Amino acid sequence: MSRKKKVHHEEHVDESWLIPYADMLTLLLALFIVMFAMSKIDNEKASKLSGEFNSIFTGSSAILPEGQTGTPAVTNNVIEENAMNEIKDELNEEIKKDGYSGNVKVELNEEGLKISIESVVLFHSGDANVIDEVKPLLLEISSLLSGLDNKVKIVGHTDNIPIKNSNFRSNWDLSAMRAINVMNYIVDVGGVNPKNLSIEAYGEQLPKYDNTTEENRSKNRRVEIFIIRKYEAPSKID
């Protein structure tokens, strides 16, 4: 009697478990690389890398503008940079429309967004009360500030011509009261959250230009509104 050969059917093992296993190996490799890198760099950068890596494992992230990618720390910087650039563009349009291009400058730097307003458009000579003509511009600035959670610093400056009258004993007093009145206006009328605001006053101590001409002295008499960055500028992230 002939024996029938048994037919062996090849069974296919479910290998789907290999995919998450490979992902885990990749994450572990990344962890070892980060730990090695952290042993070679200073504490500040180590802390930054640790925070970013923790965000990767916990799944936390911020939303980048379309087409941009990066770690959460870089993401926050890019978002803030984009927001400040938008405010800068909107303000420049408003400044041009209102005819203040020669007296109001907007600059984005490492500290944040600086809006420098010459006193000639804010106050009458030797006075600290905000004049009516410039109030629409301050309201425009206020509307843009109200959408941010950044700290805002308002700084008063004067020229080097001494002042002493019944209202102000010195340029320190004048620069301080001008900064206070601008702050009060953007809070009381503009609706900016006061918890984010602070003032500084320097009198004649930090001139932008030498005080040898009336034109330069006019530029030195100013109030600056700083929107302070919460994160480093993107170019500084490494």
Instruction: Output the CA–CA distances (angstroms, integers) from residue 95 to 114, 146, 152, 225, in the order listed.
Output: 14, 19, 20, 15
As a whole number of angstroms, the distance between CA 152 and CA 229 comes to 9
Query: What pLDDT, in 10s, does the model give residues 178-221?
Result: 999 999 999 999 999 999 999 999 999 999 999 999 999 999 99
Residues 36-56: what's their mean pLDDT?
A: 51
- Determine the Cα angle at 156 with ends 135 and 200, to 5°: 115
In the predicted structure, residue 20 carries a pLDDT above the cut 80: no
Query: Model pTM?
Result: 0.69
Query: What pLDDT, in 10s, does the model give residues 116-159?
Result: 999 999 999 999 999 999 999 999 999 998 888 899 999 999 99
**pLDDT bracket for residue 17 (50, 70, 90):** low
Instruction: Output the CA–CA distances (angstroms, integers) from residue 118 to 3, 50, 222, in the order listed.
Output: 107, 45, 4
In the predicted structure, residue 52 carries a pLDDT above the cut 80: no
- Work out the percent of the chain whose per-residue pLDDT is above 70: 67
Cβ-count burial 90-116 (b if 16+ within 10 Å, e if not)? ebeebbeeeebeebbbbebeeebbbbb
Q: How high is the pLDDT of residue 235?
A: 63
Q: Is the dihedral of CA 176, 177, 178, 181 positive or negative?
A: positive
As a whole number of angstroms, the distance between CA 232 and CA 138 comes to 27
Between 7 and 226, name the one with better pLDDT: 226
As a whole number of angstroms, the distance between CA 148 and CA 227 comes to 9
* Domain parsing of the chain, residue ranges: 18-60, 75-236
Q: 3.40.50.720, 2.60.40.1170, 3.30.1330.60, 2.40.50.140: which CATH number matches 75-236?
A: 3.30.1330.60
Number of CB atoms found within 10 A of residue 177's CB: 19
Q: How high is the pLDDT of residue 60?
A: 44
**pLDDT bracket for residue 238 (50, 70, 90):** very low
